[in-house]
Amino acid sequence: MSTNPDSTQGRPRTGGRNRNEDAHHSVLEATTALLIENGYGPLTIEGVAKRSGVAKSTIYRWWKSKPDLVMDAYAHETATRVPEPDTGTLTGDLTAFLTDLYLIGNSPTRTKALTGLMAEAQLDPAFAQPFRAWTATRRDIVTHLLTRAVTRGEIPATTDLAHATDLVFGPFWYRLLIGHAPLDPAQAEAHATTVLHGLMTPSTKSL
């Protein structure tokens, strides 16, 4: 019988999966923190390794590039902060989603980080792809809300879901980037109602 303490015979190895999951989470958390603190430009893999306590070689094994790491981390953070709602109505879903989304307006550091990511995506082709992949996941959530609304008969089956999704996100990005008006969570319900009213046909508006 083997006397190797790590042998899978007799007593199986334990903790490896948990250690990997903990390290993975630590890297994502460290990346998000550094992004919010300093922006995308100054962020380095070396800095993430130091903050997270995970070896740089391990980080490069899990993520092939800085853009992939940054957007994976930001996707993880956004999914936690702005989850997919399911209130039973489209108005309720959009209100909940937009309320969480607009809360970024209360955080200057988060606002600066997100606008910095958008700017980087316009300037760096290598960053544009993972950034657009992330925005696609956020659009998918809204499209799913709209699809459920079609099933419930709240909006017409002929609704252009891609355009409707643009209508939901339009005020957010425009106000975030131009800064002509605040991103106020208190306005989320009014904005949701405006979008819904625009999607309804005359017959459904009378319901």
- Please tell me the predicted confidence (pLDDT) of residue 85: 97
In a shared domain, residues 39 and 112: no
In a shared domain, residues 148 and 64: no
Three-class SS string for the chain? CCCCCCCCCCCCCCCHHHHHHHHHHHHHHHHHHHHHHHCCCCCCHHHHHHHHCCCHHHHHHHCCCHHHHHHHHHHHHHHHHCCCCCCCCHHHHHHHHHHHHHHHHHCHHHHHHHHHHHHHHHHCHHHHHHHHHHHHHHHHHHHHHHHHHHHHCCCCCCCCHHHHHHHHHHHHHHHHHHCCCCCCHHHHHHHHHHHHHHHCCHHHHCC
- Please tell me the predicted confidence (pLDDT) of residue 19: 62
pTM of the model: 0.85
In a shared domain, residues 39 and 141: no
In a shared domain, residues 91 and 172: yes
In a shared domain, residues 88 and 65: no
- Please tell me the predicted confidence (pLDDT) of residue 203: 55
In a shared domain, residues 60 and 89: no
Domain count, the chain: 2
Residue 32 lies inside a defined structural domain of this protein:
yes
- Please tell me the predicted confidence (pLDDT) of residue 101: 97
In a shared domain, residues 193 and 149: yes
Q: What is the pLDDT of residues 72-81, one digit of tens each?
A: 999 999 999 9
CATH number for the domain spanning 120: value is 1.10.357.10
Domain residues for 119?
Answer: 82-205
In a shared domain, residues 29 and 90: no
For the chain, 207 residues long, give each residue's pLDDT as a single digit of tens. Answer: 444 433 334 434 334 556 699 999 999 999 999 999 999 999 999 999 999 999 999 999 999 999 999 999 999 999 999 999 999 999 999 999 999 999 999 999 999 999 999 999 999 999 999 999 999 999 999 999 999 999 999 999 999 999 999 999 999 999 999 999 999 999 999 999 999 999 986 655 555
